[in-house]
Amino acid sequence: MNKTILISILIALTFSFLLFYTFHEFFPPQKASDIKDHPFFAENKNSDSEKILLLGGSGAAQLNSTMINQLLNKNYENHVFYNLAYNADTPKQRYKSVNETGMLKPKLVLYGITYFDLNGFFWINKSKNIQPLPTIELNPAKLFSSHDDAFLEINPKETTLNFIRESFGDTDLFPKKVNRFQLENSPFSFFDEYQTIIANDNDLKKISSEHVKNMVKQNEVIKKEQVGYLKEIIRMLQNNDTEVIIFVFPQQKYFLDLVPEDDKAIFYASLEEIKSEFNVKIYDLSD
């Protein structure tokens, strides 16, 4: 009797796990980098306007696309500016949508970059040791997932909520956040009210050297991979007659003062390598 109950429980658990992971594949949590199929590209692909695009992460996303576009239109007719930045962007993430970006036939692409872009947000994944040989894991999730993105983690709550949003998106079940807004010409980024509050000097001084060290660490293996993707992005854009300009984001002085010299040297050496290979202009606005 007990054996029958145990077998029944195991069968039920196995079925539940298989059902969930299959369910997860169809309704995975939405990531900021999932822009490849965004309607923005199809809607603007055939526009006759001369397009200037901004790529990058959260630092670029915070630039006021509405104001920039207005200033651009005052001086140049038939030009339009789009801020295509999104949070936690890296060259590896951005490469997934480079074909769609190229189809817009931009005249100029501005690529904002900083230490995080070339270290692939190393501090988030530093606990995962890079092995010379693959590690074999008996992980059911790996059997059903084709994703190799370190930022994607199985989350039952997010998966279920995403299914409900997809199924009932046209109803009032999920009203828009009152304090959340999106700037015109910035299709992939949103702002919450707290992001509009400027930190005071005392709070900025509280940043620790260990925190900065972890954030800017230029792991050689990851850096090489990210630089490789960045080069491919530049190559593909230049092949479509698009000019590419790279600029280094401004950073707060207390942060910059704590960046280790070794990591700073590796970061700027990578930029010089790109500048030499592709003859792109690089502007350092970090300080």
Q: Which residue has the higher pLDDT, 88 or 14?
A: 88
- Look up the pTM and report it: 0.74
Cα-Cα end-to-end distance for the chain:
73
**31-123+176-284: which CATH architecture?**
3-Layer(aba) Sandwich (3.40)
Q: What is the share, in percent, of the chain residues with pLDDT greater than 70?
A: 69
- 109 bridge partner residues: 53, 244
Q: Is the pLDDT assigned to residue 125 strictly greater than 90? A: no
Averaged pLDDT for residues 31-52: 87
The answer to whether the CB of 28 falls within 8 A of the CB of 162 is: yes
Based on the number of CB atoms within 10 Å of its own CB, is 40 exposed (0-12), middle (13-18) or buried (19 or more)? middle
Averaged pLDDT for residues 180-188: 90
- 53 bridge partner residues: 82, 109
User: What is d(CA 271, CA 116) in angstroms, rounded to the nearest whole number?
Assistant: 14
- 50 bridge partner residues: 79
CA dist 139 → 3, 33, 98, 142 (Å) = 26, 25, 32, 6
The predicted structure's pLDDT at residue 193? 79
Averaged pLDDT for residues 110-124: 86
CA dist 90 → 16, 37, 114, 197, 264 (Å) = 35, 18, 10, 25, 18
Least confident of 142-151, 180-189, 242-251: 142-151
Q: Model confidence at 174, in pLDDT bands (50, 70, 90)?
A: low
> What single-letter DSSP state applies at residue 5?
H
Q: Is the pLDDT assigned to residue 167 strictly greater than 60? A: no
Pairing of strands 191-192, 180-181: antiparallel
Averaged pLDDT for residues 56-75: 93
| Tokens linked to 210 | 């260990």
User: What is d(CA 176, CA 30) in angstroms, rounded to the nearest whole number?
Assistant: 16
| Tokens linked to 141 | 């999730």
Three-point CA angle 262, 263, 265, nearest 5°: 65
Residue 262 contacts by C-beta under 8 Å, 6 or more apart in sequence?
218
Least confident of 6-10, 18-22, 89-93: 18-22
The predicted structure's pLDDT at residue 86? 92
> Which pLDDT tens digit goes with each residue over 185-224?
999 998 887 777 888 889 899 999 999 999 999 999 999 9
| Tokens linked to 267 | 């970061």
Averaged pLDDT for residues 140-150: 45
Q: Helices 2-26 and 156-168 meet at what angle, rounded to 10? A: 50
User: What is d(CA 62, CA 51) in angstroms, rounded to the nearest whole number?
Assistant: 19
The answer to whether the CB of 118 falls within 8 A of the CB of 248 is: no
Q: Model confidence at 179, in pLDDT bands (50, 70, 90)?
A: confident
Q: Helices 261-278 and 220-239 meet at what angle, rounded to 10? A: 30
Instruction: Compute the mean pLDDT over every residue in the chain, rounded to the nearest whole number.
Output: 80
Averaged pLDDT for residues 138-164: 47
Residues of the chain within CATH 3.40.50 domain(s) are 31-123+176-284
